[in-house]
Structure 1
Amino acid sequence: MFWLIAGAMFAAIEALGLIVSGDSSITAAETNAVVAVNGFHAPVLDAIALTIDVVFGPRFAVLVTVLAVVVAGLIGRSWWTALRIAILIAIPWAAADIIKVIIQRPRPDMTLLAHPLLVEPTSFSYPSGHTAFATALGMSAVVTLAGWRYRAAAVVVATVVALTTAWSRMYLGAHYPSDMLGSLLLVPVWSLCLGMITRNSRLLQPRPREEEVAARDRVAHSGMTTEDS
């Protein structure tokens, strides 16, 4: 069931990409929005947007993922927790990149920006890879954190990080609004579906340590009972 939901969302985001990339009037309106966001220029905003561009870019994102996996494994004291984090980050992020290759939407024209800060990226535009990664990173914490008190805080932090990243991509003129929308819709659904799949899968999920200890105790007790009889 969860695979069907994820597949349906993938198809829907792909269809959205075909619509926005194929309609010149939508592209023109979105270009105006990008130019307007870039027009609100300030040094502190430059610093935030450029930092996000580097940290959540393809090269550093891999390092951030490795760090998140290691930290999760150490905190949870479980290789399974680390593996779940890796799955929840990598697969939704990869799904966004696959759609990017399929749609092949050109980037916004950066010559129209009042304050250009980047060399125009050579990759395709839809959906936003930075936004997809930031959202997947936040969702991995939301899905794996136990306890509603911590999960609520994780939701707030994940939302702020995702929306700030989405804003930064428009501020830098690297993406259209619909590029971020595609990632913001696709990744949470995929993350939740993968969270349920990895939580429910008996083939993938190892037995909890408590169950292993209980099983050994039952075997030992059974052996003692047999010898007594």
Structure 2
Amino acid sequence: MLVRVALLATAVLLVVVGAGLVLAAQGGWTAAEMNFLRRVNLAHTPQLDSVAMGINWLFGPAVAPALVVLGCGVVFLVERRALSALQFLVIVTLPWMGNEAVKALVGRPRPDIVSLPHILVLEPGGLSFPSGHTSFAACLLLGMILTIRGRRWRAPLIATAIVVVLATAGSRVYLGVHYPTDVAASIVYSVAAVTLINVVWLLLMTHWARRRPGAARRSRSFR
């Protein structure tokens, strides 16, 4: 079962990369998305500006490492297991770093931010597909969902994850620093990447547990 899940997640990741390569080569589609960004850019309000800039800061590269450390601490306090905290660290950071690898592979340029009438974040140049902020938010919260196993935590975590990830994705489009397809792809990528790394983690832990001294003896005792 776990192997099938890993293969499906890998296939989804390949589809995301393929979609990115197609989008990067489609100038007409990119121009249409840029026109959409300009229309969104005209609808700015001070309140939405504050929310979008807060999300930009919270899930940005300066604060993100601290959130990962904080997440490890939360998982450890709730689960009382160092291994759960390590699992969280692995299944969040590896997909997060993988996002940058996909960006480099696809090579889609960032939107033409300087052409927007209302500029809040000036990030000229750089790569756009998939969105790093959206991917990090998704990986962080998915890591929490997978490592905090208590039933009373699951529903609130899932609800929070949906709201936060969608708000992050929307804020990146609102700020004009990513195309809509960038943020959509980052959500799909994050779910697939976190799932894949988590399955690999579970397989490795199962293999390690079977090879521990006395594992075979304990296994026979339960038969």
TM-score, normalized by length of structure 2?
0.86
In 2, the alpha carbon distance for the partners of 1:179 and 1:162 equals: 13
CA distance in 1, matches of 2:150, 2:72: 20
What is aligned with 2:132?
A: 129
Q: CA deviation at 1:38?
A: 1.8
Q: Are the aligned partners of 1:199 and 1:205 in contact in 2 as well (CA < 8 Å)? A: no
Task: Tell me the SS of whatever aligns to 2:64.
Answer: helix
Q: How far has the Cα of 1:43 moved from its partner?
A: 0.9
* Amino acid across the alignment from 2:51: I
1:189 aligns with 2:192: yes
Structure 1 205/132 Cα, relative in aligned 2: closer, same or farther at 3 Å? farther
Instruction: Please say if 1:33 is aligned against 2:36.
Output: yes
Moved over 6 A (4+): none
Residues 1:145 and 2:148 aligned together: yes
Counterpart residue type for residue 38 of structure 1: N
1:156 & 1:75 partners in 2: Cα distance? 19
Task: Find the partner of 1:59 among 57, 62, 66.
Answer: 62
Q: Tell me how far apart the structure 2 counterparts of residues 101 and 205 of structure 1 sit (CA, whole Å).
A: 37
Give SS of 2:129's match.
coil
Q: Give the partner amino acid of 1:195.
A: N
What's the counterpart of residue 17 of structure 1? 20
**In the TM superposition, what is the alpha-carbon distance from 1:139 to its structure 2 partner?**
0.7
> Does 1:103 pair with 2:136?
no
* Cα deviations by residue, 1:24-50 (Å, 9 ceiling, x for unpaired): 111011111211222221111111111
Instruction: Tell me whether 1:156 sits opposite 2:164 in the alignment.
Output: no
Cα distance in structure 1, aligned partners of 2:120 and 2:133: 16
Give the length in aligned residue pairs: 210
Runs of 5+ unmatched residues, structure 2 = none
Aligned partner of residue 174 in structure 1, secondary structure: coil
Higher Cα radius of gyration: 1
**Superposition map of 1:77-116 within 5 A:** 77-116=80-119
Return the offset for 1:182. Answer: 1.1
User: Residue 206 of structure 2 aligns to a residue in which SS?
Assistant: coil
Could you say which residue in structure 2 is the equivalent of 1:180?
A: 183
Q: Report the CA distance shift for 1:205/1:115 in structure 2 as closer, same or farther (over 3 A).
A: farther
Deviation at 1:121, TM superposition (A): 4.5
- Which residue, 203, 206, 210 being the options, matches 1:202? 206
SS of 1:105's equivalent?
A: coil
Question: What CA distance in whole angstroms lies between the structure 2 residues aligned with 1:11 and 1:121?
Answer: 28
1:131 is matched by which residue type in structure 2?
T
C-alpha contact (below 8 Å) 1:80/1:205 kept by paired residues? no
